[in-house]
Structure 1
């Protein structure tokens, strides 16, 4: 589904991503790990269109997406969340989900202004879909509360729901478990496996190694912008270079 081919991105003299190649297969959960400053979020920004690579390219569903705008990449089927919660906190939970559907709604200016039947039907369908997604994560009863009133863990869930609202084929998750307790982590693990079971591939950055080892089908390791290792979770756990660079040595 996703093929990243030998991409490099520099900021001045610093190579934040240095000749990295990677693949994500349909319906899989792929992990991206590495110490702080390894280039993980910069890599996400390359895939999602925030940055254009200096060299190399990114392909999605067989088409090159390098250099496309973020909204075009979202329309192609890639959605993402961020390290820092990025909700519209004074809007309702429902409204935040509807915002995530924007790239899939076809009603234009005049149908919306004149409240034509085609616009009403699309809006009704969007709201029904939003309710279904909120029910999927257990937030249906909070639909008309302000997003900022949710607990930290529920705000994280709402960001994932908003990411799903655009019907992505690939969901990029940047540290979704950050700040969560162990119970919330266990619930997140179950949720992400349910999302993958719905046919949505996941590429996830996370520092919680227990979560990643129990969740991912395949893991890539970045270190100072370079790909240090790749393999199944069991291989990564035993890799001496990974242990030395990231998991704290012996």
Structure 2
């Protein structure tokens, strides 16, 4: 469903991503790993439209998306979360989810200002869908609390829910387990499988190798902006180049 061919991104004389190719299969969890500074988040930014690649092509659901704006890519069925939690912390939990529905809402400013029948119906439908998504991650009971009052792990889950609110076919998760305790990571592990069951494919960056080796169907490894290796989890675990990149030395 996502095909990246020979993607290169340069910032002046710095090559952040260098000739990277990747395939993401529908209904699978695809992992992207690598040491700090390997260019993983930069790669996500290119896929999601934050950066325009210097060269290479990105095809999503059969259509070229390199050069499109983030909102255009989101409307096509791709959403993402961020390495740093990016919620509206003074808004309510349910309002944060509804923000994620914005690309598919049809009523405009005047309908909202005059509270037309169509606008009220659409708002009611958005609330119902937001509640269903919050129930999906166990946050329905806190729908009207401020997002900033949630625990760190709950805020991470809320950000994932907001990503799901736009009805994506593919969601990009950028280090969703960062800062979580062991119990929260177990809950995240379960949540990833339930997202797949909803028909949403996953491309995930994560430094927690135990989590990644447990959930990923296929892994890509970046190092210094270049693709170092790809394969199943067992192939990556025994790849000497990957071991060297993570641990240093010859073995």
Say whether the fold is shared (TM-score over 0.5).
yes
Q: Equivalent residue for 2:243?
A: 243
Report matched runs for 1:130-145 at 5 Å. 130-145=130-145
Q: Which residue of 1 aligns with 2:87?
A: 87
Structure 2: runs of 5+ lacking an equivalent:
none
How far residue 57 of structure 1 moved from its aligned partner, in angstroms, is: 1.1
The answer for the alignment partner of 2:28 in structure 1 is 28
Q: Any idea what SS the aligned residue of 1:42 has?
A: helix
Q: Separation in 2 of the partners of 1:225 and 1:202?
A: 21
Q: Does 1:198 align with 2:190?
A: no
Aligned partners of 1:71, 1:46: CA distance in 2, in Å?
A: 13
Which position in structure 1 is the counterpart of 2:166? 166
> Match of 2:37?
37
Are residue 223 (structure 1) and residue 223 (structure 2) matched? yes
Give per-residue Cα distances to partners, 1:21-69, cap 9 Å, x unaligned. Answer: 0010111100000000100000000000000000001110000001111
Give the deviation of 1:248 after TM superposition.
5.2
Q: Deviations over 1:78-125 (max 9, x none)?
A: 100000000000000011000000001111122212111111111111
Per the alignment, residue 12 of structure 1 pairs with: 12
What residue is the counterpart of 2:111 in the other structure?
111
TM-score normalised by structure 1 residue count: 0.98
| Alignment coverage as a number of residue pairs | 250
Answering whether residue 99 of structure 2 is matched by residue 99 of structure 1, we say yes
TM-score, L = length of structure 2: 0.98
What is the CA distance between 1:142 and its match in structure 2? Answer: 0.5
Alpha-carbon separation, structure 2, partners of 1:23 and 1:199: 18
Q: Deviations over 1:116-139 (max 9, x none)?
A: 111111111100000000000000
State the match for 2:60 in structure 1.
Answer: 60
SS in 2 for 1:82: coil
